[in-house]
């Protein structure tokens, strides 16, 4: 008779283990503590999500032109001595990422631009690594070029006509 209560309790335990239970857990609503103040920047035209007006041609002077990268994929780039630049010279392009030099060959047919054999220096540049990667990606993915009507900047576009980079013209140094 001692174990009688165990036999009475055993079916209840088995039944409770076999029933499906649902447990409701309340997730806390995420919040920043202390509250975060966000700085909103005013974006002027053109932006990467707006349409930009471009000319339907590239001037002949493109074949001996130099440009400074202003932004790549929405990221503003360094200015001054660390400004990345590119120079187009009759099938050859060259420039600097702000740290390393690069060169490549290109073929342009009207608005279409095909860049190949891109070579870039390997000097370590920790502070400019992101900028260097952005430049490399933009040059590797460019498929066409346009001149933006509002500011005469060069627009590098990918195969889907997505704006990769905006470049402003810079003066070509004689003898270089």
For the chain, domain boundaries: 60-170
CATH, domain range 60-170 = 2.40.128.270
pLDDT given at position 16 = 60
Strands (E), 130-162: 144-147, 154-157
pLDDT tens digit string along 147-157?
999 999 999 99
Highest mean pLDDT among 10-19, 107-116, 123-132: 107-116
Instruction: Quote the CA–CA distance of 71 and 163 in Å, as a whole number.
Output: 10
Residue 153: per-residue pLDDT: 95
User: To the nearest whole number, what is the mean pLDDT of the chain?
Assistant: 81
The alpha carbon of 72 is separated from its chain's Cα centroid by a whole number of angstroms, namely: 6
How many residues does this entry show for the chain? 176
Task: Residue 105: count other Cβ atoms within 10 Å of its Cβ.
Answer: 13
* pLDDT higher than 70, residue 94: yes
Please determine, for residue 1, whether its predicted confidence score (pLDDT) is greater than 90: no
pLDDT reported for residue 172: 73
Residue 116 has φ and ψ, to the nearest 5°, of -145, 165
- For residue 101, the SS3 value is strand
pLDDT bin (cut points 50, 70, 90) of residue 39 is very low
- Within a 10 A sphere around the Cβ of 141, how many other Cβ atoms? 17
Average of per-residue pLDDT across 99-117: 95
Q: How far apart are the first and last CA of the chain?
A: 107
Q: pTM here?
A: 0.69
- Do you find a cis peptide bond into 34, omega within 30 degrees of 0? yes
């Amino acid at each position: 008779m001692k174990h009688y209560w165990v036999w009475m309790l055993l079916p209840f335990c088995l039944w409770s283990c076999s029933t499906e239970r649902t447990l409701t857990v309340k997730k806390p609503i995420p919040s920043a503590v202390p509250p975060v103040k966000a700085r909103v920047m005013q974006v002027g035209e053109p932006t990467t999500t707006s349409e930009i007006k471009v000319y339907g041609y590239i001037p002949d002077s493109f074949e001996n032109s130099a440009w400074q990268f202003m932004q790549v994929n929405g990221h503003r780039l360094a200015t001054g001595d660390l400004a990345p630049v590119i120079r187009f010279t009759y099938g050859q392009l060259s420039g600097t990422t702000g740290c390393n030099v690069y060169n490549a060959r290109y073929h342009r047919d009207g608005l279409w631009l095909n860049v190949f054999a891109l070579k870039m220096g390997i000097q370590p540049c920790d502070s400019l690594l992101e900028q260097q990667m952005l430049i490399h990606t933009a040059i590797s993915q460019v498929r066409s070029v346009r001149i933006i009507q509002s500011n005469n900047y060069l627009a590098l576009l990918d195969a889907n006509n997505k704006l990769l980079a905006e470049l402003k013209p810079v003066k070509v140094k004689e003898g270089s």
